[in-house]
Amino acid sequence: MAPEILIMGRTQSLRDVESNNENKSSNWRDWTLLLLWSVFGYACIILTVLAYFNPGLILFDISSLLFCKEISPFFAFSQGTGHYSKPQGFKIVALVPFHYHERTAILDCYLQKNLVHNNGFLDQVIFVPQTDDAVSMEWLYSIVNQTPEYAIFSRGYEKEWEVAKDNVMYIRIDGDVVFLEDNAISTIVKTKLDNPSTLIVSANVVNEAALASLHSHPGTALPYLPELYDVKQPSRSKSQLKHDWRASSLPRWQGPLSFKVHKDFEPPFKGHRWLLPGDAGSDRDPIARSVYTDTGPTLHDWTVGAQQHYSFLHHLENNDLGRYKFPIWVDPTEPISDNFGCFWGNDAVDLHRIFRNDNQNGSSRNWHMPDGSRPHVIIDGKGLVSHYSARQGAAGLDATDLITRYRAYAQEKVCLHTE
């Protein structure tokens, strides 16, 4: 019996050693898992902070999961991009068709900021007058005389295409552009150089051409409605007027619950504003009526333009322009905007012919080079531009206070920073 007890004792002792080893191994696994989860947790915190303060570093907007932000249809990013210095070896010239001084006076602040002597990309700005208005022309001559980099070409519609010279890079900027992001010029220049076979790189122009549907998505286009009653506004000082562009200073929309924006809607009064309603009605604003009904305006109507502009200013104030952005869109099937695009002077003749045909046919599917090939075009979604449509202006947009708001923004944020 003693040997058996001894053997059993040894057996029991061996089992105790194995059990101890298993416990030690289990403890190591627990600590390893805890360490891995800690590292993962800290990494998530770091990535979230980076995404919140510098979204361009992360391919996906992580902060949207934690801060209840709506994710835009595309999230703008560009891997490894930081400050992009002006490329050397060729001139970069802005071609500006000039229509009306009140709108180009806003653009002038952005052009000045983007001149080479202000650390911008533009070596020269050439204005091409397309108006006979004496007041506007007098204003144009005055700013050209004050700025050595400014010049005037001969007057005439579409004359800007005749200015172009070989081996010069041009940025065609319509004179009615009223906002451009700091990186709007540099990003399309870089994209054009990175894609040499592309005929033209168009900027991300809000609510224009191929981008009209994209920028009409809920959350990007907000349900702004026209002010119906001309309520006398209290007089304000100059310091108060400079904040006029901010959507947060606007009152809530007031009107009947049955109100809807139909086709051929007329401006209620001169200088009216567009306001957000307090209720969550989803079928009254122009874009909703355009998309979901047969009685609403088209996406090119002035009311849609007004809704888009006020939505844009809303997102601009909230530093939420990312919902408009995307990396690049190669060869869109719909027309691209010619109001802000980068091209080489060597291609000006072909571009002029293509845009002229595009205006007649209404689709870039009909674009063809002289040899019959289809040209490559790109929309760069990383730099935003807002253009005030003269056609929509005449139809009703001029009856809003949008020009005053864009001017107030430029005077506060842009004009004071130029030399």
Considering Cα of 66, then 72, then 73, then 79, what sign does the dihedral take? Answer: negative
Q: How far is CA 146 from CA 126, 139, 306, in A?
A: 14, 11, 34
Task: Determine the pLDDT at residue 26.
Answer: 63
Is 406 strand, coil or helix? helix
25's tokens: 């191994």
Beta-sheet pairing, 340-344 with 198-205: antiparallel
C-alpha to C-alpha distance for 111 and 179, rounded to whole angstroms: 10
Measured in degrees and rounded to the nearest 5, phi and psi for residue 253 equal: -70, 140
Can you name the residues that pair with 386 across neighbouring β-strands? 179
Helix (H) or strand (E) holding 151: strand 150-152
- Identify the pLDDT of residue 366: 56
In terms of residues, how long is the chain?
419
Among 83, 71, 86, 110, residue whose Cα is nearest residue 326? 71
The rounded Cα 40 to chain-centroid distance in angstroms is 34
CB 50, CB 57: distance < 8 Å: yes
List the Cα angle 390/147/92 in 5-degree steps: 75
| Straight-line distance from the first to the last Cα atom of the chain, in angstroms, rounded to the nearest whole number | 105
- How many whole angstroms separate alpha carbon 280 and alpha carbon 217? 16
- DSSP annotation of 400 reads B
| pLDDT score, position 34 | 77
Burial class (CB in 10 A: 0-12, 13-18, 19+), 169: buried
Provide the residue-wise pLDDT of the chain in tens; the chain has 419 residues.
444 444 444 444 444 545 555 555 566 677 777 788 888 877 878 777 665 555 444 444 444 444 444 443 333 334 434 568 999 999 999 999 999 999 999 999 999 999 999 999 999 999 999 999 999 999 999 999 999 999 999 877 777 788 889 999 999 999 999 999 999 999 999 999 999 999 999 999 998 988 998 999 999 999 999 999 987 766 554 555 555 899 999 999 999 988 999 889 999 999 999 999 987 666 889 999 888 888 889 888 999 999 999 999 999 999 999 999 999 999 998 888 899 999 999 999 888 888 776 555 444 445 666 676 778 999 999 999 999 998 898 889 999 999 999 999 999 999 965 44
CA distances from 242 to 108, 249, 402 (A): 18, 12, 14
pLDDT at residue 14, as a whole number: 44
Name the nearest CA neighbour of 303 among 259, 261, 272, 268. 261
Q: How many other C-beta atoms can be found within 10 angstroms of the C-beta atom of residue 156?
A: 12
